[in-house]
Chain A
Amino acid sequence: NAGVMQNPRHLVRRRGQEARLRCSPMKGHSHVYWYRQLPEEGLKFMVYLQKENIIDESGMPKERFSAEFPKEGPSILRIQQVVRGDSAAYFCASSPPGLAGGEQFFGPGTRLTVL
């Protein structure tokens, strides 16, 4: 049973370009979460999605960031017009349907560098 897959593992963009980060959850998991880790900090929640629905996006910056989890295919975190401050590690996690509080399984992360 493959774990959470993220690609690309490393992404370099110039200021003003778009970044697309992909996440395939574990088989049987219908809940996806995105977190961001800035250097020397802990992980910060960004958005929680279920298939075709955004459940909680309270951690998402109001502009330039969007996320989706379509009926078919991976979840996508999209950052438009990237700036240097977007440089970070972006982690996706998934969990099965069921009670809250269960563990979340993390992918290896995408390291975004904005030049």
Chain B
Amino acid sequence: DQQVKQNSPSLSVQEGRISILNCDYTNSMFDYFLWYKKYPAEGPTFLISISSIKDKNEDGRFTVFLNKSAKHLSLHIVPSQPGDSAVYFCAASGSGSARQLTFGSGTQLTVLP
């Protein structure tokens, strides 16, 4: 049973436009949500996170939105750049001893010049 789902395996966006990556989760015990970016043959790199007590967090070109009632979060990248082309993973974790991350299956973002 997938607790974190990324239903779009791929997304193509024109350079300068907005990229919107989506993620759904089923476990209401998750307290933190994170986005990671991954290039081939490298480890995931942390991008941005959000606590369940917030509905928005912004860092430069990256904004994460959380809708707890819908159990949905999204990552907005604006403006998109060719260097943003990578696989983006959504992840979630609980609190206390439940520190492990539960990952979605990833979305391959391609930003076209």
Chain A residues close to B by CB (< 8 Å)? 4, 6, 31, 33, 35, 41-45, 48, 55-56, 59, 91, 93, 95, 99-109, 111
Contact = CB atoms under 8 A, between A and B. Distances in A.
A43 B99 contact: no
Nearest to B95: A100
Interface of B: 4, 6, 31-32, 34, 36, 41-46, 49, 51, 89, 93-106
A24 to B, nearest CB: 13
A15 B81 CA distance: 44
Contacts of B44: 43, 91, 106
The 3 nearest A-B residue pairs measured at CB:
A101-B32, A106-B43, A42-B103
Given A106-B44, A108-B43, A45 B102 contact: yes
Contact of A56 (B32, B43, B97, B104): B97
B89 A31 contact: no
Contact of A104 (B6, B46, B102): B46
A25 to B, nearest CB: 13
B46 A105 contact: yes
Q: Which of A43, A48, A107 has the most CB of B within 10 A?
A: A43
Nearest to A34: B100
Contacts of A111: 41
Nearest to A109: B43
A4 B34 CA distance: 19
A102 to B, nearest CB: 8
A42 B43 contact: no
B43 A91 contact: yes
B103 A43 contact: yes
